[in-house]
Structure 1
Amino acid sequence: MRLIPCIEMLYKTEHPDFIQRFHAAKADGFDAVDTWLWRDKPIAAMADVVAETGVQVFSLCADPRASLVNSAEHATVLGAVRDAVPVARRLNGRGPAARIILASGFGLPGQAESDMRANAVTVLREAARIAADGGATLLLEPVHMVIHGNLMAVRNIRQGLDIVEEVDHPALQLLADVYHHAVDGQALEDAFDSRTAALVGHVQVADYEGRHEPGTGSLPWAALLPLLKQRGYTGAIGLEYLPSLPHAESLALTRRTLGL
């Protein structure tokens, strides 16, 4: 399994300049990075540094964010996917390598879970078709976040796997964020149930609590990664955490804890 640093978090303190974080990742031996929203980024400069360093953008987020579970926002979702496809391809290439992240948006008060899920499935089927036609892959990311008492509609890995399975399109996979899943309080083995990791396109890690590097919290890393491997996951592990140590020490602890 290869490691992918999220440069929205890692290297930020040492390198306020976003482009310099590609060089820092290269110096640490990484060949790709994760990012978040792209519209406020210097895309031309990113393309240049990708070409210069060989450090590609592993994933980026559809921008603007919009709700999958609210049908009134579906046109925005589909437009964001259309706009992100050429950017993802420019920074990483065609096919599964061009990855675009989508989150569900917040739950709708008064709306049944089944209706929200149906809305998500409907828009994701169309979004996956758009992504596939453009040569990209979508990653659905369950996110446990609460604002004003309102939870995200898809907030744990099991919910995400259920939706990806129902959409049943090769251009849609799950982004399994171990930290957000831990916040939701569900065991990883229960999330997968009897399913393999064939539906998973990316995994991101941070320890719980604190969202710092693996090895600083309570998550059972010695069991989590073997579980993923047993379920057939051989892909990348994204480092989406807030460093609590200088970056060299942080990465060393992460590598020791993950055994990678």
Structure 2
Amino acid sequence: MFLAPCIEWHFAEYPNLADRVRAAARAGFTAAEFHLWRDKDMAGIAAALDETGLALTGVCVDPRRSIVDPAERRELAAAVQETIAATASLGKPPLIVASGFRVEGMSEEEHFANAVAALKEAAALAEQADVTLLLEPLNTRLFSAMYLVSTKLGLDLIDAVASPNLRLLYDVWHSAVMGEDMAEVLTGRIHLVAHVQVADMDERNEPGTGTLDWPRVMQTLRDLGYQGGIGLEYFPTLPIDQSHAKAREALGL
């Protein structure tokens, strides 16, 4: 496993992400991630990635559109296609998809069927481009009406879509907020998880500052066979070098 800081929130002393890429590399990281791309200097980021050799573990599909609302399906496909094109110069990073909000009056079965149909269309675009889509369950504390707030449901959707280019982003903090048992929801299905993100309870800060049992979290991932990236998607409470040192210590990486 390897660490990837979220440069959307880390190295904030640098005003642009290209310089944050360079800062991450100087800090000893081999990977990083960020959120939306349309407001970013993509050429500058591409140049910084080429210069440092840093890889990206995730960029969000932009704009965010619903996977459950049929009225937004065409816009979702367009967003996926445009994001694939825009991020090609960044090394074809995995692209993160959120679900969007529940549609009033729609049954659970209809929500699921609409999500599968939308994700099949998006996954077909990803297959053509040789890109991985990461479906991310969130939580109801931040987004009370969000459709996908369950790891099990996310994995069920991925099973139903049955595309090698659609995988899960498992966020330890979102899962903990929802009261999930990590081993229970991931056992037997870790092959569907392509990326993991971490933050501590309760306020989404660096691992080691809250109540989560990080040795247990990391041992669970190892026992299940996870070998990918660990995204440091948290709000730092310490100077960034100290914050990363604390996270490394807590995670044992």
- Shared topology, TM-score over 0.5? yes
Match of 1:58, SS? Answer: strand
Aligned to 1:11: 11
* Number of matched pairs: 253
For residues 75 and 140 of structure 2, the distance between their equivalents in structure 1, rounded to whole angstroms, comes to 21
Gaps of 5+ in 1: none
* 1:58–1:92 Cα contact (<8 Å) kept: no
Aligned to 1:113: 108
Cα root mean square deviation, aligned:
1.4
Question: Which TM-score applies when normalising by structure 2?
Answer: 0.96
Residue 108 of structure 1: how far off its partner (Å):
1.7
Residue 174 of structure 1: how far off its partner (Å):
0.2
Question: Which TM-score applies when normalising by structure 1?
Answer: 0.93
* 1:214–1:254 Cα contact (<8 Å) kept: yes
For residues 55 and 211 of structure 1, the distance between their equivalents in structure 2, rounded to whole angstroms, comes to 25
Aligned to 2:176: 182
Runs of 4+ in 1 over 2 A off after TM superposition: 86-89
Aligned to 1:238: 231
For residues 152 and 259 of structure 1, the distance between their equivalents in structure 2, rounded to whole angstroms, comes to 33
* 1:89–1:136 Cα contact (<8 Å) kept: no
Q: Residue 148 of structure 2 is aligned with which of 146, 154, 157? A: 154
For residues 165 and 230 of structure 1, the distance between their equivalents in structure 2, rounded to whole angstroms, comes to 22
Q: Kindly report which structure 2 residues correspond to 1:86-235, keeping only aligned pairs within 5 A, or say none.
A: 86-93=85-92, 98-145=93-140, 150-192=144-186, 194-235=187-228
Residue 145 of structure 1: how far off its partner (Å):
4.2
Gaps of 5+ in 2: none
For residues 165 and 113 of structure 1, the distance between their equivalents in structure 2, rounded to whole angstroms, comes to 17
Residue 227 of structure 1: how far off its partner (Å):
1.0
* 2:141–2:177 Cα contact (<8 Å) kept: no
**For residue 235 of structure 1, what is the amino acid of its counterpart?**
G
For residues 166 and 45 of structure 1, the distance between their equivalents in structure 2, rounded to whole angstroms, comes to 38
Match of 2:35, SS? Answer: strand
* Aligned sequence identity (%): 42
